[in-house]
Amino acid sequence: MIPTSYPPADEIARLTARMLLEIKAVHFNAREPFTLASGLPSPTYIDCRKLISYPRIRSTLMDFLTVTVMRNAGLEAFDNIAGGETAGIPFAALVAERMALPMTYVRKKPKGYGRNARIEGAMSEGERVLLVEDLTTDGGSKLSFVDAIRETGATCGHTAVIFYYGIFPDTEKTLGDHGVALHHLCTWWDVLAEARAQNAFDAETLEGVEAFLNDPRGWQDAQKS
């Protein structure tokens, strides 16, 4: 069912951050940084995959994501909802159900046998496709999914995520230069503000996280020395 009412964007951001903290999807550790998929260190890590195990929170956030996209892009802006392999698949299915639209998913690379397809499900030339993912950091991984969608003859000018890092200044430009608008629910800044409001972490940890968010590349370079 399509949600018909929703809070303003800043309240959605605060509530999303609160829910991510509540299920312990947020991890802060400035003393022993995490290693990201890029191989770079970070005092922050978020696991949006945990959301699928919490039905009430999952449902609320999918309502938020659906209405955010409809508010920003329009109620009749899409014909197909595509999830990126693998984390985006369940969220795409939930958004597609709410919007009463077909759902597909995009593989990271061709499966190597059979049709050797990257798109699973029915996607047609001319369809307007929304790409749904769990999160985005610098936006780079989205471009491959978008290109795979466009190779079918469909269009893809929007991507929606639950969580956007919000600390790398070129992200939205990278996507924008590729003709893609980004829609998101919250960022690290929203999570940091809510973590402070809840005293979810000690002051030293929060200060270390804030230093990273203000200058992530500088913070990472300092860890190498």
Q: Was 133 annotated as part of a binding site?
A: yes
Q: Was 170 annotated as part of a binding site?
A: no
Q: 214 φ, ψ to 5°?
A: -75, -30
Q: Was 111 annotated as part of a binding site?
A: yes
- What's the token pair of residue 151? 């190779």
According to CATH, the topology of domain 9-219 is: Rossmann fold (3.40.50)
From CA 89, how far away is CA 52, in angstroms rounded? 11
Q: Was 134 annotated as part of a binding site?
A: yes
180 and 3 Cβ atoms separated by less than 8 Å: no
Beta-bridged to residue 131, according to DSSP, are 82, 159
Q: Was 49 annotated as part of a binding site?
A: no
Q: Was 142 annotated as part of a binding site?
A: no
Between β-strands 80-84 and 181-187, what pairing exists: parallel, antiparallel or unpaired?
unpaired
Q: Was 138 annotated as part of a binding site?
A: yes
* pLDDT (tens digit per residue) in 53-110: 999 999 999 999 999 999 999 999 999 999 999 999 999 999 999 999 999 999 998 8
Q: 105 φ, ψ to 5°?
A: -140, 155
Looking at residue 74, what is its pLDDT?
A: 95
Q: Was 135 annotated as part of a binding site?
A: yes
* pLDDT (tens digit per residue) in 118-176: 999 999 999 999 999 999 988 888 999 999 999 999 999 999 999 999 998 899 999 99
The model's pTM is 0.94
Map out the domains of the chain as residue ranges.
9-219
